[in-house]
């Protein structure tokens, strides 16, 4: 990208001429606005940017971006995006997916894109419901959830998206929510700047089929006591006036405490760059439901080789080792014999 001239752009340059068709009041609008406002600040050109999505409400996203894009098939966006990133490491590739698309039908592709550390910025819109198919439970729906397909309540234990990503060796894992544009912008920027696969879970409200799913955590009056903001290198502290915090017990378990009880110096210092993912995993598992304090921010951000660059490096090494491509030589490479002209 060093030889690419980055043009000055505004939000308008990143906005397509297509009418946005989400339901009025959908959380997706806020996410779209955050991304469109952020893009001019990222130092990239629209023509070098590709948005790939699968199927679901969130997957309409690429149509609204004035970039290259594919609205593909259910669950396959990470695989298609891997093809783009492998073929063209010069491009900025974003994946837009949802809890059904990314964790159910496309779960396999998601974990392998993370494992390979493909240079992708993956935004997973988690609304804990199937919206496009009108209201069935999703792999992140809570136990007991009553939906059209679970009239007696869901008996499927849900996935924890961040724990899945960490288990798949993701090098960048973060969480944000659709009500805080500033926080989204900060997280999306960090995810974009990360070289390799960046996974962002966005708590996103579906006001039609699963309204207020995150209200107990992200509702304005609840945020202070329920949202735990993670900042690398800082003590993990939350609550009104920072009165609460997180400590690690001798058994390695994380616990929520009142700072007054343990003292500020006992609080756990967040380390997103730790190679060992166990701390990030423990933080991802800190909250088990939508009614208890939940961490937001960057859980993990570590350096690993980027897959597309590694593929390109092998090609470059092969060219150095074997010289220029020579088709005629290839056809002779398994040994030949000559049949002489009978004359």
Partner 1 sequence: MTDIVERPDGADEVERLDHIVIRFAGDSGDGMQLTGDRFTSASALFGNDLSTLPEYPAEIRAPAGTVHGVSSFQVHISDHDITTPGDAPSVLVAMNPAALRADLGRLEVGGTLIVNSDTFDERNLAKAGYHSDPLNDGSLANYRLITVAMTTLTKDAATPLGVKPRDADRSKNFFALGLVSFMYSRPTEPTLAWIDERFAKTELVQASNRAAFLAGYHYGETTEEFGHRYEVRPAQMPPGEYTNITGNVALSWGLVAAGQLAHLPVTLGSYPITPASDILHELSKHKHFGVRTVQAEDEIAAISLAIGAAFSGHLGITTTSGPGVALKSEATSLAVSLELPLIIIDIQRGGPSTGLPTKTEAADLNIAMYGRHGEAPLPVVASYSPAHCFFAAIEAARIALKYRTPVILLSDGYLANGSEPWKLPDVDTLPDISVPFTTEHNHVADDGTAEFWPYLRDPATLARPWAIPGTPGLMHRIGGIEKEDGTGNINYTPENHEKMVHLRAAKVAGIANDIPPAAVIGDADADVCVLGWGSTWAAIDAAVQRPRRRGHLTHLNPLPANLGDLLRGFRQIVVPELNLGQLCRIVRAEYLVDARSISKVQGLPFTAREIETAIDDALERLRTEASGGTQAP
- What are 50's strand-pairing partners? 68, 93
Q: 29, 88, 229, 243: which one contacts partner 1 (CB under 8 A)?
A: 88
Q: How far is 76 from 68, CA to CA, in rounded Å?
A: 17
Residues 252 to 311: which contact partner 1 by CB under 8 A?
311
Six-digit token pair at 294?
């939940």
Query: Per rule CB under 8 A, is residue 220 in the interface with partner 1?
Result: no
Does position 86 interact with partner 1 (CB under 8 A)? The reply is yes
Q: Is 37 helix (H, G, I), strand (E, B) or coil?
A: helix
Any alpha helices (H) in 24-180, and if so which ranges? 28-38, 77-87, 99-100, 107-116, 161-167
Gap between the Cα atoms of 15 and 79, Å rounded: 25
Cα–Cα dist 45/51, whole Å: 13
Interaction between residue 164 and partner 1 (CB under 8 A):
no
Least separation, in Å, of the C-beta of 116 and partner 1?
9
Smallest gap from residue 43 Cβ to partner 1 (A): 16
Q: How far is the CB of 47 from partner 1 (least distance, A)?
A: 5
Of the candidates 26, 80, 179, 191, which one interacts with partner 1 according to CB under 8 A?
Answer: 80
Query: Distance of CA 199 to CAs 111, 119, 134, 291, 325, Å?
Result: 10, 11, 26, 24, 38
> Is the CB of 76 or the CB of 237 nearer to partner 1?
76
Q: Which of residues 51 and 125 has its CB atom nearest to partner 1 in the complex?
A: 51
**CA–CA distance from 183 to each of 62, 155, 175, 180, 284 (Å)?**
22, 34, 10, 5, 18
Specify the residue, 70 or 224, whose C-beta has the smaller distance to partner 1. Answer: 70
Measured at the CA of 89, the angle between CA 314 and CA 308, to 5 degrees, comes to 45
Taking CB under 8 A as the criterion, the residue among 9, 37, 45, 243 binding partner 1 is: 45
**Given candidates 81, 162, 187, 272, which one binds partner 1 under the rule CB under 8 A?**
81
Give residue for tokens 């994380």: 254
Q: How far is the CB of 120 from partner 1 (least distance, A)?
A: 11
Going by the DSSP 8-state scheme, the letter that residue 269 receives in this structure is: B
Pairing type for strands 244-248 and 237-238 reads antiparallel
- One character per residue 102-141, x = contact with partner 1 (rule: CB under 8 A): ------xx--x-----------------------------
Distance CA 341, CA 343 (A): 5
CA terminus-to-terminus distance, the chain: 60
Contacting partner 1 (CB under 8 A), which of 91, 191, 198, 247? 91
Q: Measuring CA to CA, how many Å separate 7 from each of 13, 41, 134? A: 10, 11, 42
**Minimal distance, residue 282 CB to partner 1, in Å:** 28
Stretch that binds partner 1, among 33-41, 121-129, 163-171, 323-331 (CB under 8 A): 323-331
Residue from 151, 249, 252, 323 that binds partner 1 (CB under 8 A)? 323
Residue whose CB is less far from partner 1, 250 or 330? 330
Is the CB of residue 146 less than 8 Å from the CB of residue 156? no
Binds partner 1 by CB under 8 A, chosen from 63, 135, 225, 235:
63
Q: Contact between 18 and partner 1 (CB under 8 A)?
A: yes
Contacting residue, 32, 65, 284, 302, with partner 1 by CB under 8 A? 65
Distance of CA 247 to the CA centre of its chain: 27
Pair 18, 60: CB distance under 8 Å: no
Distance CA 65, CA 61 (A): 7
Under the binding rule (CB under 8 A), the answer on residue 70 touching partner 1 is yes
Residue of 15, 66, 117, 119 that binds partner 1 (CB under 8 A) = 66
User: Which residues lie near partner 1 (CB under 8 A)?
Assistant: 16, 18, 45-52, 55, 62-63, 65-73, 76, 79-88, 90-91, 108-109, 112, 311, 314-315, 317-319, 321-325, 327-328, 330-332, 334-342
């Amino acid at each position: 990208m060093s030889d690419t001239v980055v043009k000055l752009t505004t939000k308008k340059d990143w906005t397509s001429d297509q009418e946005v068709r989400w339901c009025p009041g959908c959380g997706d609008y806020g996410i779209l606005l955050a991304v469109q406002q952020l893009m001019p600040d990222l130092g990239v050109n629209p023509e070098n940017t590709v948005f790939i999505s699968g199927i679901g409400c969130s997957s309409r996203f690429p149509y609204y971006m004035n970039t290259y894009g594919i609205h593909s098939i259910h669950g396959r966006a990470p695989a298609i995006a891997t093809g783009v990133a492998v073929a063209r490491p010069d491009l900025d590739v974003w994946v837009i997916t949802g809890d059904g698309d990314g964790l159910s039908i496309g779960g396999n592709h998601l974990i392998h894109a993370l494992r390979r550390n493909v240079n992708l910025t993956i935004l997973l819109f988690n609304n804990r419901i199937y919206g496009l198919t009108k209201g069935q439970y999703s792999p992140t729906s809570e136990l007991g959830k009553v939906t059209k397909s679970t009239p007696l309540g869901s008996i499927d234990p849900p996935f924890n998206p961040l724990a899945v990503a960490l288990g798949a060796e993701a090098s960048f894992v973060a969480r944000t929510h659709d009500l805080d544009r500033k926080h989204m912008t900060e997280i999306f920027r960090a995810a974009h700047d990360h070289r390799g696969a960046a996974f962002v879970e966005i708590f996103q409200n579906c006001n039609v089929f699963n309204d207020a799913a995150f209200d107990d955590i992200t509702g304005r009056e609840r945020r202070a006591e329920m949202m735990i903001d993670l900042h690398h290198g800082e003590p993990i502290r939350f609550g009104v006036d920072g009165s609460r915090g997180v400590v690690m017990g001798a058994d390695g378990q994380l616990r929520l405490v009142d700072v007054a009880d343990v003292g500020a110096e006992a609080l756990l210092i967040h380390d997103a760059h730790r190679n060992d993912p166990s701390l990030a995993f423990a933080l991802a598992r800190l909250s088990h439901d939508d009614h208890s304090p939940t961490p937001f921010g960057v859980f993990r951000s570590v350096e690993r080789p980027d897959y597309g660059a590694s593929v390109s490096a092998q090609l470059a090494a092969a060219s150095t080792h074997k010289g220029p491509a020579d088709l005629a030589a290839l056809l002779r490479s398994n040994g030949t014999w000559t049949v002489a002209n009978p004359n």
